[in-house]
Structure 1
Amino acid sequence: MNEGNVMLVAESGEEIEGIIELKDGRHIAMFFVKPEKQMQGIGKQLLSSVLTYARFDTVTVKASLSSVPAYVKYGFEMAGDIAESSGLVYQPMEFELNKPVQLTALAAAD
């Protein structure tokens, strides 16, 4: 892993339940929670924890279209049009760390 990258893992015993990676202190490159473990607060905990490592006021993500509702729930906003890269379709999104309304949204999200 490169300097400036942070990867956090949620585990139960020896089983990985979720993972998140923050690249360059500003971009969520990977964020997954096992389907059977979703809606239990694991994603919220991973996201809240990784945001403490952010080195910029804005954190970005190239969200898969199916994950957009989850990111909206966590307080992310659309940051451009749907795009495609290497065959992957995504929605650019961003989270403003110093925006109180979004911190409230993250605290309320499950």
Structure 2
Amino acid sequence: MLLSNEQYLAQLAEHLRQLQGKGASSLYLSQKKNPVFDDEQNAKPSVLLRAKNGANWKISTVVNAENFTDFFGKYAEVCKGGMIGLKKRDRKKNKKKKKAPSASTA
């Protein structure tokens, strides 16, 4: 669902608040150059942002070049505020698996 920039930020903030109360869940954030810019010569540069939680919740918005700096300042605040309850990923297990004992013959 394509939303305005303010609606996108409001719904993203609300969804992040809901996820903090749950145990294990994922939220995927993505951004890319708006494909419409490639197709039309008169189109101004813009960025397409998407947020989704699996298959049951999806939102997106298009940010124009004029609003880019202001929007991403607000976007960073929303993301940082919603990621307070996250647990840092434990990478020690992966490192142990990759470091297999090597047989050295001298």
TM-score range, shorter chain: under 0.3
- 1 or 2 for the larger relative contact order (CA 8 Å, sep ≥6)? 2
Structure whose alpha-carbon radius of gyration is higher: 2
Query: Which structure has greater strand proportion?
Result: 1
